Amino acid sequence: MDQTAADPPPHQPRPQWIGWTLTAVTVPALLAGLGVAVAGPRIERELVTTAEDALGGAGHPDAQVAAVGRELSLAGLPGERLAAVSTMVANLPGVDSVVVRELAPTPVLLRVRDGELLVSATGHSVLATGRLLEEIIARCPGHRVTDLTLPVPGTGPAFASTALAAVAQAAAEARGADLTVAIRPDGVTVRGVVADADQRNVLLERLRGSEFGPVQAGGLTVGPPPHPSTVDIRALDAAVGRMIDGSGGVNFEAATVRWGEGHGAALLERIGRLLRVAPKSLITVTAWASEEQPPGVDPRRLAGRRADLVRDLLVAQGVPRELVSTVARVEPGPETFVPHLRRARVTVS
């Protein structure tokens, strides 16, 4: 029996209102997305600029600001100001939220010796370390303050500059001939010699009354001061070595006398100030270069120029030139891949 297939139903045209609806929904959404993509970076830049202006007006021009959408992140602020400053920024027009990255706490070392007060610390910026030095200088007018601070972004003392300066004042007024105070996030360590038991008790009372936590004073003794010219050369040499190693070394770019990675000139200026405590010590600057140099570059002359540059920076900080000798060393290997072949070293003897 023949079966004839039924003809398919005729095509029904789509109602026009469906197309109009899709267009009405899709086009504005696409335009909105395009607007966000175009305006987003501009809004972020405006928010960062507004926040930086506000932070500068609040005394923190060195703070770092970044934006992701309308969320701002802040870095480089002292701990005692985090809450107030983050609230101020959060209340700026257009800001949805604020995230604060705290500084990595670092120790502060104070040393009082022969009318000199050495301050060793790191800070988020030159401005941050400058604030600390200004506070200490104001509180210790009878002492020569030697700056051994170093700007290291993302780091800083765990305590306010005013509190640290108060400890420096207590140490300076204790008449300790060779007094060292180390302030760390977990407490204070004091070593050295003071004139008598009363001086010792007053110093410890002032330190224990501070906000820095427990005080370790087992190395604080009473007795006559050591001879003013006494300097522990081995300890000084070790301190210089720790400063260099802890800052990544004194490095140069391959085949040049330009500073490479690390702190370079700033580190050497700090070392030069430290070496002034031993005005009769012999300083040796050793610099390296690789045998493998581009055409026209003499390896030994390159190493010598690197050593001379380091020497001149130390001399500029007050180290007697006649006490600084230089050594140029040339060794095999490519400078690009062997970092010690483009470094310099400072030793004390």
Q: Considering the domain boundaries, does residue 1 fall inside one?
A: no
What's the number of domains the chain is made of? Answer: 3
170 & 211 share domain: yes
| Structural tokens at position 330 | 């040339």
**Do 325 and 282 contact (CB within 8 A), yes or no?**
yes
Determine the pLDDT at residue 253.
92
pLDDT in tens, the chain (349 residues): 444 545 555 555 555 544 545 455 455 555 445 444 446 788 888 888 998 899 888 888 878 888 888 888 888 777 777 788 889 989 999 888 888 887 777 788 888 877 888 888 877 777 888 888 999 999 999 888 888 777 777 777 878 889 999 999 999 998 766 788 888 888 898 988 888 888 889 999 999 888 888 999 988 888 876 555 456 777 888 888 888 887 888 999 999 999 988 888 888 988 988 888 777 778 889 999 999 999 999 999 999 999 999 999 999 988 888 788 888 889 988 888 888 899 999 998 8
Q: Considering the domain boundaries, does residue 228 fall inside one?
A: no
| Domain stop point among 44, 76, 101 | 101
CATH code, 113? 3.40.1520.20
Determine the pLDDT at residue 290.
92
| Domain stop point among 222, 243, 258 | 222
**Do 135 and 163 contact (CB within 8 A), yes or no?**
no
| Domain stop point among 101, 133, 164 | 101
Q: Considering the domain boundaries, does residue 5 fall inside one?
A: no
What backbone torsions phi and psi does residue 288 show, to the nearest 5 degrees? -115, 160
Determine the pLDDT at residue 21.
53
48 & 60 share domain: yes
Handedness of CA 172, 174, 175, 180 (dihedral sign): negative
204 & 147 share domain: yes
334 & 241 share domain: yes
**Do 143 and 173 contact (CB within 8 A), yes or no?**
no
Domain extent at residue 204: 105-222
SS (H, E, C) the chain: CCCCCCCCCCCCCCCHHHHHHHHHHHHHHHHHHHHHHHHHHHHHHHHHHHHHHHHHHCCCCCCEEEEECCEEEEECCCHHHHHHHHHHHHCCCCCCEEEEECCEEECEEEEEECCEEEEECEECCHHHHHHHHHHHHHHCCCCEEEECCEECCCEEECCCHHHHHHHHHHHHHCCCCEEEEEEECCEEEEEEEECCHHHHHHHHHHHHCCCCCCEEEEEEEECCCCCCCCCCHHHHHHHHHHHHHHCCCEEECCCCCCECCCCCHHHHHHHHHHHCCCCCCCEEEEEEEECCCCCCCCHHHHHHHHHHHHHHHHHHCCCCHHHEEEEEEEECCCCCCCHHHHEEEEEEC
Handedness of CA 272, 275, 280, 286 (dihedral sign): negative
97 & 115 share domain: no
CATH code, 79? 3.30.1340
Q: Considering the domain boundaries, does residue 135 fall inside one?
A: yes
Residues 19-30 as b/e (b if ≥16 CB within 10 A, e otherwise) read eeeeeeeeeeee
Q: CA 126, CA 328: separation in Å to the nearest integer?
A: 33
Q: CA 298, CA 291: separation in Å to the nearest integer?
A: 8
Q: Which residue reads 């870095």 in tokens? A: 75
Q: Considering the domain boundaries, does residue 15 fall inside one?
A: no
- Is the pTM higher than 0.85? The answer reads no
Q: Considering the domain boundaries, does residue 304 fall inside one?
A: yes
